[in-house]
Amino acid sequence: MIKNDIYELYQTMERENILLSFKGVVTSDLLSSVLSIMESKMDYMDESPKLKKKVFNVLVECLQNLYHHIDSNEDRERNMLRIEAKSALFMIAKKDDHFVIRTGNYIDVESATELQRRIDVINGMDKEELKKYYQDVLSNGTLSEKGTAGLGMIDIARKSGNKLDYQFLPITDENSFFCLNIKID
């Protein structure tokens, strides 16, 4: 009864007003395509230019985080299907007067602990503190082995204007699934 499953998925996406959803391996070509699709969709929506810009900027940061931080942990890849280990999920939805971007990806437990610490620090700051923290990290931060300075989550919090809603779901002793929910208004 796959037809019923597809229809149920369609109904859920309609009910949740999901504009775009993707599950799979995040590549640079995918990033370009998704951003192009969302730019077109946002052009057709009757939203303020300021809100459109915020949504687009947060989306760029979220997609870049997925692209740069999908772990390439050999042990995890041996314990999971390679495609599953490198897969991510993201959705963009329109809710009443705001947008929601949701992402999900596998992460090793050690990285999850550090990420949770960083997000909690970010969530404990107000707008001015975030701005100063961003400048401090930009000035004093060192690049990770992935070529990033750890600014993504700070930037998402700054641009969305909201706290980062997140959860780590335990999958195995070594791996979790990181869920991030961002409200943009």
pTM of the entire structure? 0.86
As a CATH number, domain 2-184 is 3.30.565.10
Q: Which DSSP string do the residues of the chain spell out, in sequence order? A: -HHHHHHHHHHHHHHTTEEEEEEEE--HHHHHHHHHHHHHHHHHS---HHHHHHHHHHHHHHHHHHHHHS---HHHHHHS-HHHHTEEEEEEEEETTEEEEEEEEEEEHHHHHHHHHHHHHHHT--HHHHHHHHHHHHHH----TTS--S-HHHHHHHHH-SPPEEEEEE-SSSEEEEEEEEEE-
Tens-level pLDDT at each residue, the chain (185 residues): 567 899 999 999 999 999 999 999 888 899 899 999 998 888 888 888 899 899 999 999 999 988 886 655 555 445 555 556 678 999 999 998 899 999 999 999 999 999 999 999 999 999 999 999 999 888 886 555 555 557 899 999 999 999 999 999 999 898 899 999 999 99
